[in-house]
């Protein structure tokens, strides 16, 4: 599909999207139709609202769609545009003209948003469907907006990386195992100059990653430790460490999940997909920063060699861990990855991303990333990046009372502490030390039951764009 910024006219297109702002006049051509729609109460100029109509001119019939909220480039308005675009695809539009005369772009981000919008909205997970819905759209034109080409291109990269993560997560677990994830990371990473190092079981054993290996012990698939390095600032010793939870399927292990909770558990490598895709995005944008991403990938299965509730294992950091529940497997893999990125990769700042707890969803719902941090400055930057990318984030507290709860009489630490989301974060904190750290629990936003306007049902690519933006802001 081709996208062009030029002053299109009605004869160039077969569908029009008109962005409207409250009480702002629209162009001469659509004035009457717009007034009629408003008068009939079909459109109230609300942000994100969309109304579709048809328009005849010079013997040609055009679809016309009005989208409200152009007074501010925010989530509602962007979703409205995505909705209009999807509607017109459903109408089999071939050439769509957008009129952005009324767009107020105070933060100068609309160019980026446009780059992201179509890439993100176009992707649907239909790889396994015999009949695929081919898009008829060939050309998209924008007018009346003074766009910034560099930002627009950056938006396309951000959108493509969001989609890459979604593709990884949407692959079912019978296809996406640790070896496949490692292969995708290597192939895609090396395309863009990211160094990718994959470590197999013997090496993982050599590092003493007993916590990670406990989770991997049931699986017929070998674990893969994925390390990706991008050196955008070789003269600096600073390294931004990304750690992603890479459980390609979470059955719960012997602490088995009920089937209903299990059937979406291919999404449990959503954190891994986010960091793998984000570091590639950082490389594609050529940002002047060093980043290392580490994923300790495995699935969490049931077999005669499973780890058991009650087992005591040694982590790479040397701490002994009492496995209270095998379904709290994410943190067991994450802490060895955290130790690896700190000890071996000398990360100076750390962000971990994980579909970690059902408790995060119960607390904040399905669209919010639950976060904790030991560093206000780093958290502030991460929070800003989420806001810039129109993703929701909320910081949760870390109270001493619950630190006590992690202790166990037979081991240094146990893998469950109340309350759920903070307990999981505190477990990771115990391995982080003083390094500035932000923990992102994306259990809610990583995977959607229902299609939203900008993404289909299934994976959403949550956190990918904020992480790339963070690398830019640091």
Contact stretch for Zn ion (CB under 5 A) within 23-31, 153-161, 320-328, 433-441:
320-328
Q: Which residues pair with 374 in a beta bridge?
A: none
Candidates 20-28, 47-55, 64-72, 268-276: pick the segment binding Zn ion (CB under 5 A). 268-276
x/- contact string, 215-244, with Zn ion (CB under 5 A)?
------------------------------
Q: What is the DSSP string of 297-310?
A: EEEE--STT---TT
Task: Give the nearer residue to Zn ion in terms of CB position, either 251 or 315.
Answer: 251
At closest approach, how far in Å is the CB of 330 from Zn ion? 4
Q: 44: which residues sit within 8 A by CB, 6+ positions away?
A: 38, 68
Per CB under 5 A, 271 contacts Zn ion: no
Least distance from C-beta 328 to ligand BES, angstroms?
4
Q: Shortest approach of Zn ion to residue 442 CB, angstroms?
A: 12
Q: Which is nearer to Zn ion, 14 or 329 (CB)?
A: 329
CB of 300 to Zn ion, least distance (A): 6
> Among 268, 307, 391, 441, which residue interacts with Zn ion (rule: CB under 5 A)?
268
Catalytic annotation on 224?
A: no
Cβ distance 5 to 143 under 8 Å?
Answer: yes
Give kind and range of the element (H or E) at residue 224. Answer: strand 224-231
Among 156, 250, 429, 441, binds Zn ion (CB under 5 A): 250
d(CA 158, CA 153): 9
State how far the Cα of 304 lies from the Cα of 248, in Å rounded to an integer.
Answer: 20
Residue 160 partner contact from Zn ion, ligand BES, none using kind-dependent CB cut-offs of 5 to 8 Å: none
Of the pair 79, 422, the CB lying nearest ligand BES is at: 422
- Closer by beta carbon to ligand BES, 74 or else 405: 405
Least Cβ distance, residue 327 to Zn ion (angstroms) = 4
Nearest to 418 by CA among 407, 410, 409, 429: 407
Binder of residue 416, out of ligand BES, Zn ion, none (CB less than 5 to 8 A by kind): ligand BES
Nearest approach, Cβ of residue 300 and ligand BES (Å): 7
CA-wise closest residue to 120 among 90, 79, 151: 79
Alpha-carbon torsion (161, 462, 127, 258), positive or negative? positive
Note whether 294 and 339 are within 8 A (CB): no
- Specify whether the CB–CB gap between 461 and 455 falls below 8 A: yes
Q: Does residue number 171 form part of the binding site for Zn ion (CB under 5 A)?
A: no
Residue 330 engages Zn ion in binding (rule: CB under 5 A): yes
Report the partner that residue 317 touches, choosing among Zn ion, ligand BES, none (CB closer than 5 to 8 A by kind): none
Distances from the Cα of 467 to the Cα of 157, 240, 273, 282, 470, angstroms: 13, 11, 12, 9, 5
Work out what residue 420 binds among Zn ion, ligand BES, none; the CB cut-off runs from 5 to 8 Å by kind.
ligand BES
Peptide bond into 321 cis (omega under 30): no
Q: Considering the complex, state which of residue 199 and residue 245 has its C-beta at the smaller distance from ligand BES.
A: 245
Active-site entry in 199, 229, 245, 331: 331
Block residue for tokens 């989770």: 215
- The interface partner of residue 325, options being ligand BES, Zn ion, none and the CB cut-off 5 to 8 Å by kind, is ligand BES
> Can you point out the beta strands (E) in 58-152?
60-68, 95-99, 139-143
Q: Measure the CA–CA gap between 260 and 241, rounded to whole angstroms.
A: 34
For the bound state, the minimum distance from the C-beta of residue 270 to Zn ion, rounded and expressed in Å, comes to: 10
- By the criterion CB under 6 A, which residues form the site for ligand BES? 250, 268, 325, 327-330, 355-359, 416, 420, 443
Cα–Cα distance for residue pair 338/204, rounded to 1 Å: 14
Does the annotation count 245 as an active-site position? no
Q: Nearest to ligand BES by Cβ — which residue?
A: 358
For residue 75, which of 456, 341, 474, 453 has the smallest C-alpha distance? 453
Residue 313, both tokens: 């294992």
- Catalytic residue chosen out of the listed positions 109, 257, 319, 403: 257
The count of other CB atoms within 10 Å of the CB of residue 174 is 9
- The least distance separating Zn ion from the CB of residue 252, rounded to whole angstroms, comes to 5
| CA–CA distances in Å: residue 164 to residues 244, 421, 453 | 15, 28, 18
Which stretch, 160-168, 192-200, 211-219, 323-331, contacts Zn ion (CB under 5 A)? 323-331
Residue 68: exposure state from Cβ atoms within 10 A (0-12, 13-18, ≥19): buried
- Least distance in angstroms from the C-beta of 459 to ligand BES: 12
Residue 459 touches which member of ligand BES, Zn ion, none, C-beta under 5-8 Å by kind: none
Token readout for 307 is: 């780890």
Using CB distances below 5 to 8 A depending on partner kind, what does residue 29 bind out of Zn ion, ligand BES, none?
Answer: none
Q: 154 is in the binding site of which of ligand BES, Zn ion, none (Cβ under 5 to 8 A by kind)? A: none
* Helix (H) and strand (E) counts in the chain: 15, 19
Judged by beta carbon, residue 48 or residue 420, the one nearer ligand BES is: 420
* Catalytic residue set: 257, 331
Interface positions with Zn ion (CB under 5 A): 247, 250, 268, 327, 329-330
């Amino acid at each position: 599909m081709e996208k062009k910024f030029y002053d299109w006219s009605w004869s160039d297109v077969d569908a029009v999207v008109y962005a409207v702002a409250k009480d702002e006049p629209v162009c001469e051509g659509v004035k009457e139709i717009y007034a009629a729609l408003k008068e009939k109460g079909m459109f109230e100029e609300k942000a994100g609202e969309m109304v579709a109509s048809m328009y005849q001119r010079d013997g040609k019939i055009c679809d016309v769609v009005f989208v409200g909220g152009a007074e501010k480039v925010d989530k509602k308005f962007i979703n409205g545009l995505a909705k209009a675009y999807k509607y017109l695809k459903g109408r089999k539009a071939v050439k769509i003209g957008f009129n952005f005369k009324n767009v107020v772009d105070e933060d100068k981000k609309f160019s980026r948003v446009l780059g992201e919008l179509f890439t993100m909205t176009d992707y649907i997970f239909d790889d396994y469907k015999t009949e695929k819905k081919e898009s008829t759209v060939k050309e998209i034109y924008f007018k009346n907006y003074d766009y910034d080409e560099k930002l627009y291109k950056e938006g396309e990269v951000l959108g493509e990386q969001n989609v890459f993560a979604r593709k990884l997560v949407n692959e079912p677990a019978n296809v996406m195992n640790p070896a496949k994830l490692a292969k995708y990371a290597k192939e895609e990473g090396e395309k863009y100059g990211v160094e990718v190092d994959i470590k197999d079981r013997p090496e993982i054993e050599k590092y003493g990653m007993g916590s990670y290996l406990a989770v991997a012990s049931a699986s017929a698939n070998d674990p893969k430790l994925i390390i990706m390095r991008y050196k955008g600032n070789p003269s600096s010793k600073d390294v931004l460490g990304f750690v992603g939870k890479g459980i390609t399927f979470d059955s719960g292990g012997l602490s088995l999940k009920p089937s209903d909770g299990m059937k979406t558990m291919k999404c449990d490598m959503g954190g891994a997909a986010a960091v793998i895709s984000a570091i590639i995005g950082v490389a594609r944008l050529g940002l002047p920063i060093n980043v290392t991403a580490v994923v300790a990938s495995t699935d969490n299965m049931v077999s005669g060699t499973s780890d058991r509730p009650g087992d005591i294992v040694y982590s790479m950091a040397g701490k002994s861990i009492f496995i209270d529940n095998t379904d709290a497997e994410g943190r067991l893999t994450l802490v060895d990855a955290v130790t690896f990125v700190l000890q071996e990769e000398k990360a100076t700042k750390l962000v971990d991303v994980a579909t970690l707890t059902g408790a995060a969803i119960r607390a904040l719902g399905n669209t919010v990333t639950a976060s904790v941090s030991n560093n206000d400055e780093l958290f502030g930057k991460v929070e800003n990046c989420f806001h810039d990318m129109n993703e929701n984030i909320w910081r949760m507290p870390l109270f001493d009372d619950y630190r006590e709860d992690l202790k166990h009489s037979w081991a240094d630490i146990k893998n469950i502490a109340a309350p759920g989301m903070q307990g999981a974060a505190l477990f990771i904190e115990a391995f982080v030390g003083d390094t500035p750290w932000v923990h992102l629990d994306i259990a809610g936003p990583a995977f959607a039951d229902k299609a939203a306007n900008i993404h289909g049902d299934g994976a959403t690519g949550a956190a990918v764009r904020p992480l790339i933006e963070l690398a830019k802001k640091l």
